[in-house]
Amino acid sequence: MRSRRESNEAALKKLGEERDAALKEAREAKAKYQSLEKQLSEGGSKTKDLQAKIKKAESELSESKKARETTQSELDDLLMVFGDLEEKVAKYKARLVELNEPVSEGEDDDDDEDDDDDEDDEDDDDDDDEDEEDDDEEEKDVKKAK
């Protein structure tokens, strides 16, 4: 009986150790499961945040495209109006030439040339004063001739 008892005690001890190992394994598995659940939850909220950012960026992109298209359309309209104006100016100049009226050719040139001569503009003012004096003298001469 003694050997049976020792055998039972040994088996009981072994079962106890196996039970303790299984409990330890179960606790570790439960902790790992909780950790994974937490990571999954955090991942889900990050995914939602990223999806919201994507929607916002797509919305901003769409608005930007619409604004660009509107601006381009307005620019195209302005270019058409400008082209029409240039055509009218050309017709008016041609009509003036037909009527033997003076037409300045300088207006056809780009305005870029005038931008370079900013300092010369002051000198032109002085020339204008001299031209006015010359005009006054010519008027006096015309009156004297009468």
| CA dist list (Å): 127 to 91, 105, 120, 134, 138 | 32, 21, 11, 10, 16
pLDDT, one tens digit per residue, over 103-133 is 887 655 444 444 454 555 555 555 555 555 6
Length of the chain: 146
- Average pLDDT on 1-28 reads 91
8 Å CB contact between 103 and 97:
yes
Sign of CA dihedral 70, 76, 80, 81: positive
Burial 3-22 (b: 16+ CB within 10 A, else e): eeeeeeeeeeeeeeeeeeee
> Among all chains, which residue has been given the structure tokens 């039972």?
8
Report the C-alpha gap between 114 and 50 in whole angstroms. 55
Report the C-alpha gap between 19 and 2 in whole angstroms. 25
pLDDT, one tens digit per residue, over 55-93 is 999 999 999 999 999 999 999 999 999 999 999 999 999
